[in-house]
A = this chain, B = another copy of it.
Amino acid sequence: MDERKPPGRSTVTRRAILDILRNSMRPLSAIEVHGILRAGGGRQSLSTVYRALDSFTETGLLIKGALEDVAHYQINSAKHTHFAVCTRCKSVVPLKGCPLKPAQVADDGFEVRGHSLEVFGICGRCRGSCNNGFVSPPRAEK
């Protein structure tokens, strides 16, 4: 009883987008989804991807959260994942499990369909001996 029927018309592109997210081990940005579509030989436009993702998110099929300041989407299932972001080196590590109990946050008439959570802090590497000059590259620089 986890997944509901996709909303709107069932097109090749929309089905492909959902498949990509179902098979992904992590949340994907619109641009990543678009890249995967194109890598598969598709010629879909980026705006189509954005529109589909928005549509799916609006119905609660997907959940949308900001990862490194860009929107990432994942299937709204019980086994979604959250991430911890190091505010020093910007590295991202997945959390084991979700600390929220399903109906924990419901207020007044609001029907909770999903949530997004990010944790901030200092990763082990950055804390270890406070080496701002890193030993191994935590993340590619811009």
Contacts and interface: CB of A to CB of B under 8 A. Distances in A.
Interface in A109-124: 109-124
B120 A117 contact: no
Interface in A63-90: 63-66, 69, 71, 82, 84, 86-88
Describe A's contact surface by its main secondary structure.
mixed
A118 to B, nearest CB: 5
Interface string A90-122: 000101100111001101111111111111111
List the 9 shortest-distance A-B pairs measured between CB atoms, nearest first. Answer: A109-B124, A66-B66, A113-B121, A112-B121, A114-B120, A115-B119, A111-B122, A117-B117, A58-B87
Interface of A: 57-60, 63-66, 69, 71, 82, 84, 86-88, 93, 95-96, 99-101, 104-105, 107-125, 127-128
